[in-house]
Amino acid sequence: MDDIIRISTNTPWEPMFGYSRAVKAGNLIVVSGTTGTDENGTIIGINQMYSQARQAIANIASVLARAGASLDDVIRTRIFVTDMSRYQEVGRAHREAFGAAPPAATLVEVRRLIHPDMMVEIEVDAVIRAVDVPASAAAKPTAKAKPRARGKTKSKPGSTARKSKPARRK
In the chain, where the domains are located? 4-127
Q: Is a pLDDT exceeding 80 seen at residue 136?
A: no
36-50 pLDDT, tens digit per residue, is: 999 888 999 999 999
17-38 pLDDT, tens digit per residue, is: 889 999 999 999 999 999 999 9
* Contact between 94 and 80 (Cβ < 8 Å): no
Q: Is a pLDDT exceeding 50 seen at residue 138?
A: no
More confidently predicted of 136 and 57: 57
Which residues, including other chains, have CB under 8 Å from residue 101's CB and lie 6 or more apart? 71, 72, 74
Structural class in CATH, domain 4-127: alpha beta
Cα torsion 12, 16, 22, 24: sign: positive
- Beta-strand pair 28-35/22-25: antiparallel
More confidently predicted of 10 and 48: 48
